[in-house]
Structure 1
Amino acid sequence: MTIENLQNGSDIRGIAIATDEFEITLTEEIAEQVGRGIVNWLVAEKGLGAELVAQKLTIAVGQDSRLSGEMLKAALIKGIRSQGANAVDTGLSTTPAMFKTTQFPDFNCDAGVMITASHLPYYFNGIKIFSREGGAEHEDIAYILSHTEPNEAAELGHFSGREVLTLYAQDLVAKIRQGTGLVIDKPLASFKIIVDAGNGAAGFFAEKVLVELGANTTGSQFLEPDGHFPNHIPNPDNAEAMASIRQAVLDNHADLGVIFDTDVDRSAIVDKFGNTLNRNNLIAILAKIVLESEPNATIVTNSPTSTHLKHFINRLGGKQVRYLCGYRNVINKAIELNAEGIDTPLAIETSGHAAFRENDFLDDGAYVIAKILMLLPQLKTENREISDLIAEMAQPVETNEIRFKINLSDYRFYGENVIATFADFIAKIADFKTDLDNEEGIRVNFTGNYGQGWFLLRMSLHEPLLVLQVENDVSGKNELVIAKLLEFFAEFSNLTLPNF
């Protein structure tokens, strides 16, 4: 294992706590090297050599509630300071707030670094990096990990500590007040809204945002940071987590439930009736909000979104671009389209990563909730609920996701070959028709004896897996679709076929 092996797309990720199954790969020594690499990257790639020489180059570092966070943060700060740069320890933080340390005048940092591994088990940890321009790209991480050499001539950089979540929350509160269109301090005074922080870093949202806006947050759960994550996985894309917040909303007769992942770059909601609004439904709500203010705009999503979502966006006058999975991929596609003159205000994945152009294309779960909170007073005067915004979007009757493990070291080449062969198999089935509006894997629409729906076969972004997603509008028909497809997959000896 080398330091370069810890690259995970546009961030760094590894095992930070040893278990019976896993050895540590993300050590304090590596974190210190990453700290040096970040400074070297800022100097070489961002042109901040003069700031370093003048002892003004400053980097903020924060962490979520993970057990290994403090240890890795201390080592990373040591590496930063050893290169002559200044470090600001922001303590318990969120990923969006760490980017904002480069934007808030009170911080004015040259970079922000977040120590997190999102929703992964407690023994993982990772590092996300922001410059003033936004999140680090794949090539930036590669540079950082391959340029960790020490600056022997540097004087030790300064160290300071300053909490960022209060300022971040105040910024959200001001935006929500303005967004409601009401000239009052407590626009949410008539609402009961509960928060599920999953024992991650989102606990601040109840007290510092909702209470400030007048909401009653009684019934909020798992607000205390706990890196063991004892209650449920902090992941709004997880069925158990969504069931937990749903039950809390119903038990407490709340108007709205809000759930975040560990580092608050993803979120979802539950309405007063217990409708879980994540994945395609969350995309639809945000698309509705965007298209009301920007008619005919384009929304970029990742590839495994529902056909019903596309029809919904089209009926609203918008356009959906299905693009590659990976939050940086959808964000960068939206930025590219805007540069081409195509009005694209939103990039969002089914996992809950959502980035608005008006918010620097930052994938910010708290800002997603802020956009929804802005609507609540108006909806109440109209006697409507959040879920009414997407009442006209059809919902699939059956959904399945099947993951085929590839048992080879060169799994990507093998997986792409399976997908290429899959195209030939599909072409022979009369009720299957390839959907050309797709840029990842193979997407197929089906009819006839198989019901009415679609499936998508694609490579997992980071794991040795082929992922098959199937949606059907006819009850009992997914079983037929999957049985037919398993005839194909059974021919590949290096795939592990799950029981179904």
Structure 2
Amino acid sequence: MKNSLEKLINGNDIRGVALEGVEGEKVNLTPEVVEILGVAFAKWLSINKNVKAENLKISVGRDSRLSGENLKSALIRGITSVGAEVFDCGLASTPAMFMTTVLEEYKFHGAIMITASHLPFNRNGMKFFTNKGAIEKLDLKEVVSIAKEIEEVNEAKEEKVNVIDFISEYSKFLVEKIRTGVNSKVNKEEPLKGFKIIVDAGNGAGGFFVDKVLKSLGADTEGSQFTEPDGRFPNHIPNPEDKEAMHSIQKAVLENKADLGIIFDTDVDRAAVVDSHGNEINRNRLIALISAIILEENPKTTVVTDSVTSEGLKDFIENKCGGKHHRFKRGYKNVINEAIRLNSEGEECHIAIETSGHAALRENYFLDDGAYLISKILVKTAKLKEENGEDIHNLIKDLKEASISNEYRMKITCEDFKEYGNKVLEDLKSYCAKREGWEFEVPNYEGVRVKCDKENGDGWFLVRLSLHDPVIPMNVETEKEEGEKLIVSELYKFFSGYENLNIEALNK
């Protein structure tokens, strides 16, 4: 068991198979594993906070997954076995768990969320926090190293467990932020009165937003769907990037004649919206929307995004909103850490956001928090209606969007996929440098990004190595189908020379 702990590290999270039921996927995230990781995190906190283990306060929460309650019990046993005090938050969101480390009445030494985000029902995982945010990958490796040295776990101390309804406290925090932000002249307590706003929680942990936030602010939420926690996810995957999930909330908005639709992922660190006409505001559109809001409040600020954002978005942020677009790498921690770095070096940056929907604002501890993101959008929605009756979609009416935008994923079939993938990318740079009508994007921080002139594709493409998987994704945006065919067929000739690269996606 201890020797396999490293295989559970996924970025700065723990991820594994927690339930049987999927062929070929053996359970490796067992209660025993989670218990020993709880011991290790408490010991790591004790060292890093210079606090005796018996004086530590650690909060624990979970999403709606079927394995969540069982793993949470194991985690609590592990933490209390070293004498630390546990605060059981029950069903919670990932951002709420972080907030237990910073809100004045709590300020716990650490927090753990049991979640695997939007992954299938049989998966689960753990996210670890201190008051500085999610721990880094190097920190997680230290926790795992401590776990591997543990010979036996002491008896759990039930008297050290406190049960708290923290999601209600977190909801009050959001409600107050919205009330203060709108500062309505008509209805200060219920600034969303007169709005019909519906939520699709996908049977994840986001259902609380309906009763505890929207209704408290006066909104009509009739038509909200899949708000009951159900770890089987029987209706659709709780994931704003999933087409079925997005179609579901779009349909609900139109059928209920709602002013706004909100969709969350399983643990509520990501979100997206749908306007009153059923238009999805996701990916580049979502980045454009929150950028417009943030840049109105903080003129000329830098917006950090991941590497797959469009040329139209860059134009919108810089030429329509007066900001600076800093296109960085994939990975929500990458964009967050880059924003923090820029601020530390004197470049004002108020937002870091990935196309997946992870959005982190400086005003909110650079925490990727889907509910807080939605709160900012709700504030602007209410203010627009009160001031001039405008719809939120008007904020992004000047965003230019490519006619065609697709992603192709090519699987690397050899064991050392990172070395092989990096070799492919190096070779691709040499290949593209010789291609007439193709020009490298500068600056570029990830993979190979190339702009194609009108005669040679009329768009751009990005080829990169996946952060965790043996996959080379290729994003292509063009104005015409002929342009996409030209780009893909040209790259097909290049990729076909690599025997350990499955290019079936390009054949299609």
Instruction: Output the TM-score relative to the length of structure 2.
Output: 0.95
Residue-by-residue CA offset, 1:36-68 (whole Å, 9 max, x unaligned): 11011101223223xx2xx32111101000010
Letter in 1 for 2:248: S
Partner of 2:48: 45
- Select 2:317's aligned residue among 306, 310, 313: 313
Deviation at residue 152 of structure 1 after TM alignment:
7.5
Deviation at residue 102 of structure 1 after TM alignment:
1.0
- The answer as to 2:54 corresponding to 1:28 is no
Cα distance in 1 for residues equivalent to 2:156 and 2:336: 38
Letter in 1 for 2:286: L
- Select 1:371's aligned residue among 369, 376, 381: 376
Letter in 1 for 2:91: L
Matches within 5 A, 1:204-353: 204-315=208-319, 316-353=321-358
Cα distance in 2 for residues equivalent to 1:152 and 1:273: 56
Deviation at residue 475 of structure 1 after TM alignment:
4.1
Partner of 2:413: 407
Is the 2:78–2:153 contact (alpha carbons within 8 Å) kept by the matching residues of 1? no
Letter in 2 for 1:387: H
Deviation at residue 108 of structure 1 after TM alignment:
2.9
Deviation at residue 182 of structure 1 after TM alignment:
1.5
Cα distance in 2 for residues equivalent to 1:173 and 1:476: 49
Higher share of residues assigned helix: 2
Q: Tell me, what secondary structure is at the counterpart of 1:484?
A: helix
Cα distance in 2 for residues equivalent to 1:40 and 1:341: 36
Residue-by-residue CA offset, 1:342-378 (whole Å, 9 max, x unaligned): 1101000000000000001110000000000001222
Cα distance in 2 for residues equivalent to 1:62 and 1:496: 40
Cα distance in 1 for residues equivalent to 2:47 and 2:304: 32
Cα distance in 2 for residues equivalent to 1:150 and 1:384: 63
Cα distance in 2 for residues equivalent to 1:106 and 1:154: 30
Relative to structure 1, is the Cα distance of residues 152 and 251 closer, same or farther in structure 2, using a 3 angstrom cutoff? Answer: closer
Letter in 2 for 1:486: Y
Deviation at residue 428 of structure 1 after TM alignment:
2.0
Deviation at residue 451 of structure 1 after TM alignment:
3.8
Matches within 5 A, 1:103-122: 103-122=102-121
Cα distance in 1 for residues equivalent to 2:355 and 2:38: 32
Structure 1: state its 5+ residue gaps.
none
Cα distance in 1 for residues equivalent to 2:410 and 2:282: 25
- The answer as to 2:409 corresponding to 1:397 is no
Letter in 2 for 1:319: K
- Select 1:8's aligned residue among 7, 10, 17: 10
Residue-by-residue CA offset, 1:155-199 (whole Å, 9 max, x unaligned): 847111112111111110000000002151010101000000000
Partner of 2:166: 164
Partner of 1:64: 63
Deviation at residue 214 of structure 1 after TM alignment:
0.5
- The answer as to 2:81 corresponding to 1:79 is no
Letter in 1 for 2:495: F
Letter in 2 for 1:143: E
Letter in 1 for 2:123: F
Q: Tell me, what secondary structure is at the counterpart of 2:349?
A: coil
Letter in 2 for 1:176: I
Deviation at residue 496 of structure 1 after TM alignment:
0.8
Q: Tell me, what secondary structure is at the counterpart of 1:466?
A: strand
Residue-by-residue CA offset, 1:67-102 (whole Å, 9 max, x unaligned): 100111111111101111111111100000000111
Cα distance in 1 for residues equivalent to 2:58 and 2:347: 34
Partner of 1:448: 454
Structure 2: state its 5+ residue gaps.
none
Cα distance in 2 for residues equivalent to 1:155 and 1:2: 24
Q: Tell me, what secondary structure is at the counterpart of 1:212?
A: helix
Letter in 2 for 1:343: E
Cα distance in 2 for residues equivalent to 1:5 and 1:153: 25
Is the 2:288–2:313 contact (alpha carbons within 8 Å) kept by the matching residues of 1? yes
Cα distance in 2 for residues equivalent to 1:42 and 1:151: 19
Identity of aligned residues (%): 47
Deviation at residue 383 of structure 1 after TM alignment:
2.6
Cα distance in 2 for residues equivalent to 1:147 and 1:3: 11
Is the 1:36–1:150 contact (alpha carbons within 8 Å) kept by the matching residues of 2? no
Partner of 1:195: 199
Q: Tell me, what secondary structure is at the counterpart of 2:376?
A: helix
Relative to structure 1, is the Cα distance of residues 213 and 429 closer, same or farther in structure 2, using a 3 angstrom cutoff? Answer: same
Matches within 5 A, 1:427-446: 427-446=433-452
Cα distance in 1 for residues equivalent to 2:327 and 2:85: 41
Cα distance in 1 for residues equivalent to 2:133 and 2:434: 46
Deviation at residue 150 of structure 1 after TM alignment:
6.2
Cα distance in 1 for residues equivalent to 2:36 and 2:381: 47
Q: Tell me, what secondary structure is at the counterpart of 2:475?
A: strand
Partner of 1:173: 175
Letter in 2 for 1:467: P
Q: Tell me, what secondary structure is at the counterpart of 1:374?
A: helix
Cα distance in 1 for residues equivalent to 2:274 and 2:370: 15
Q: Tell me, what secondary structure is at the counterpart of 1:404?
A: strand
Is the 1:455–1:469 contact (alpha carbons within 8 Å) kept by the matching residues of 2? yes
Runs of 4 or more consecutive aligned structure 1 residues displaced over 6 Å after TM superposition: 150-155
Q: Tell me, what secondary structure is at the counterpart of 1:147?
A: helix
Is the 1:82–1:151 contact (alpha carbons within 8 Å) kept by the matching residues of 2? no
Q: Tell me, what secondary structure is at the counterpart of 1:408?
A: coil
Q: Tell me, what secondary structure is at the counterpart of 2:86?
A: strand
Cα distance in 2 for residues equivalent to 1:65 and 1:377: 31
Residue-by-residue CA offset, 1:188-217 (whole Å, 9 max, x unaligned): 101000000000000000111001100001
Is the 1:83–1:150 contact (alpha carbons within 8 Å) kept by the matching residues of 2? no
Relative to structure 1, is the Cα distance of residues 150 and 177 closer, same or farther in structure 2, using a 3 angstrom cutoff? Answer: farther
Relative to structure 1, is the Cα distance of residues 127 and 480 closer, same or farther in structure 2, using a 3 angstrom cutoff? Answer: same
Q: Tell me, what secondary structure is at the counterpart of 1:268?
A: strand
Cα distance in 2 for residues equivalent to 1:350 and 1:216: 29
Cα distance in 2 for residues equivalent to 1:322 and 1:182: 36
